[in-house]
Amino acid sequence: MSTTSEQPGHRADVVIIGGGSAGAALAARISEDPRRTVVLIEAGPDYPAERLPEGLLAPHLLADPDHDWGYTARATDRAPSIPAPRGRAMGGSSSVNAGAAIRARAADFAAWGDRYGIKGWSYEEVLPVFRDLENTPAGDDAYHGRTGPFPIRQWTYEELTSPLRAFVDSAADLGFRRNDDFNGARQDGTGGYPVNIVDGVRQNTALAYLTPQVRRRPNLTVLSDITIDKVLIEDGVARGVVSASGTVFRAAEVVLSAGSYGSPAILLRSGVGPAEDLRALGIDVVADLPVGRRLQDHPFFHSLFALAPEHQTMTSAFQAHLWLASREAQAGELDLSIVATHLLDGSFSPTGGAILLAAAVTRPESRGSVRLASRDPHDAPVIDNNYFSTARDRSRMLEGVKLVRRLASAQPLAGAVAAELVPGDAIRSDEELEAAIATGISTYGHPTSTVPMGGPWDEWAVVDESGAVKGLEGLRVVDASIMPEVPSTVTNATTIMIAEHIARRVYGS
């Protein structure tokens, strides 16, 4: 067991735990005030921009195993253990994701207010923040920013590989509208992704926000390779954090930005969470709150196709998709997404090339959980995605996978595809397809809602609209975990916006 030691120099106005999509952005913004001392602590490694490893440069479909936490999760009873990738490096999951940069929709934010009583997060209130954080040369000025720190580039139809152009054309021929700006006025339809990839390099938040100029600020200290065990809470007030090795970092305010798995785990080890779970592990209860009880993530089913010999051009980047309303969608929802991309290695394909068409339910009803396996900060949390716990989630996923097959059999995509590899032609009936989905399901990689925001009457809320943990002082959570439900698209850009929005509201940045 480690001994606790307090380092005299480790004191700050604000200590931020986690240098990911939210933490890096928040540290950069609130340290703009030279009177405020900020310490940013990341569990993974930190690299100078000029020495970033290849795995953190090129956009990959799967997390770089050298910079991943190595977590697994239960998906369904038929898929009891699937990878649950999360980035473990400065920049967090923005350092290892596929670089897709689509914002949450206006309807997503409206649900936050209508269902959970959250104020200050309407689309009209967050759109200026999205614009200010973005720099892009494309799109309507009403929706886009030109000078922000986060670069976003829109894949055009001409930039797509020939199989992906065929995907877009087949979707359009089936009646879906073409969309050249998913961050614009309308999000339904098919087209190229907006991405935070510039000249083939994923622009993570460590690059975009923790620039050399920012890192030179005398009031900002950036630390890496330090795993945080718990928050030091005395008489209901957060006074700092304790590392796994026992070092105490004192601060007037603690901000957890360790992500939808890391932030709840730290809270639970600190005695903040469901009292019965804490007592079962011998943890003293500081605040009985429903931490980890509302996990949501997008279920993601991969259909794989071999490419025809004349359509072998591939790229590892997410390039195109189709966003639509299912037959069971509620008014205003876009609850299905079909992702079209390639794999890094087509060697498993009999033709040497492959295309992945993956269906995701983007407005799931199912909720899962994150719990502690033990009090040891080095032990992985117990993650249960609990996919398909409702019949509506199951039927919408089936609809999405069947739509993939329709697309693959429609021209011109049918001419670019040689064969269906997964689930395969032997799977024909709905029952067989449902079984294949339940067994082969994976995560889209967008966990949220484990430390959810909520209004005063929301019994599931752990934090308020500014991320402050209810019933405690000096403790805030700022990351994807505070979203009350998963938005209907990828989460990275929205997570960055959350940090920017709270920086303005709380710290005047």
Over the chain, what is the mean pLDDT? 95
Output the CA angle 272-284-1, nearest 5 degrees: 105
Residue 287 in tokens? 């605040």
Residue 9 has pLDDT above 70, yes or no: no
Q: Which residue do the tokens 């019965």 mark?
A: 276
User: Element (H or E) spanning 337, and its range?
Assistant: strand 336-341
- Sort 141 into a burial class: Cβ within 10 Å, 0-12 / 13-18 / 19+: exposed
pTM of the complete model: 0.97
SS3 162: helix
Q: Assess contact for 199 and 190: CB atoms under 8 A.
A: no
How far apart are alpha carbons 436 and 144 in whole angstroms?
A: 41
Tokens of 381: 């949390």
Q: How far apart are CA 278 and CA 276, in angstroms?
A: 6
Q: In three state form, how does the secondary structure of 189-253 look?
A: EEEECEECEECCEECCHHHHCCCHHHHCCCCEEEECCCCEEEEEEECCEEEEEEECCCEEEEEEE
**Burial (CB count within 10 angstroms: exposed 0-12, middle 13-18, buried 19+), residue 282:** exposed
What CA–CA distances, in Å, run from 88 to 283, 414, 480, 483, 484? 26, 40, 16, 21, 24
Q: What is the helix (H) or strand (E) element at residue 436, kind and residue range?
A: helix 430-440
- pLDDT higher than threshold 60 for residue 156: yes
Question: Which residue out of 60, 144, 446, 501 is catalytically annotated?
Answer: 446
**Whose CA is closest to 125, among 509, 400, 500, 507?**
500
Task: Give 158's contacts (C-beta < 8 A, 6+ positions apart).
Answer: none
Taking residue 328's Cβ as centre, other Cβ atoms within 10 Å add up to 15
For the stretch 77-135, pLDDT in tens is 999 999 999 999 999 999 999 999 999 999 999 999 999 999 999 999 999 999 999 99
Cα-based torsion angle of the residue sequence 97, 126, 154, 137 in order, rounded to the nearest 10 degrees = -130
Does residue 4 surpass a pLDDT of 70?
no
Tokens of 43: 């569990």
Residue type for position 2: S
Cβ(135)–Cβ(149) under 8 Å? yes
Residue type, 20: G
**Helix axes of 123-133 and 492-507: crossing angle, nearest 10 degrees:** 100
Which carries the bigger pLDDT value, residue 61 or residue 382?
382
The answer to whether residue 2 scores a pLDDT higher than 60 is no
Query: Under 8 Å CB-to-CB from 65, ≥6 apart: which residues?
Result: none
Q: Please state whether beta strands 220-223 and 417-422 pair in parallel, antiparallel, or not at all (unpaired).
A: unpaired
Contact 478, 256 (CB under 8 A): yes
Helix axis angle for 106-116 and 123-133, nearest 10°, is 140
Structure tokens at 141: 């000025």
CA distance 41 to 220: 11
> pLDDT of 47-85, one tens digit each?
988 888 887 877 765 667 889 999 999 999 999 999 999
3-state secondary structure of 171: helix
- Report the pLDDT averaged over residues 290-303: 98
Please, are residues 164 and 171 in contact by the beta-carbon 8 Å criterion? no
If one counts every other C-beta atom within 10 angstroms of the C-beta of residue 152, the result is 27
Q: Is 446 a catalytic residue?
A: yes
Q: What is the 3-state secondary structure of 437-463?
A: HHHHCEECCCCECCCCECCCCCCCCCE
Q: List pLDDT tens digits, range 316-348.
A: 677 899 999 999 999 999 999 999 998 767 778
Residue 484 DSSP one-character state: S
Which pLDDT belongs to residue 366? 98
Amino acid, single-letter form, for residue 23: G
Arithmetic mean of pLDDT, 355-380? 97
Write the CA distances from 180 to 41, 386, 423, integer angstroms.
39, 34, 30
Strand partners, 296: 448
Give the torsion sign (CA, 264, 99, 490, 21).
Answer: positive
In the prediction, which pLDDT does 342 show?
85
3-state secondary structure of 492: helix
- Cα distance between residue 20 and residue 29, in whole Å: 14
> Could you give all domains of the chain from N- to C-terminal order, each with its CATH number?
5-62+85-102+196-292+447-507 (3.50.50.60), 159-192+299-363+388-440 (3.30.410.40)
Tell me the two tokens of residue 391. Answer: 């019949």
- Quick: pLDDT tens for 448-478: 999 999 999 999 999 999 999 999 999 999 9
User: Residue 1's pLDDT is what?
Assistant: 43
Q: Which of 89, 20, 11, 38 is nearest to 247 (CA)?
A: 11
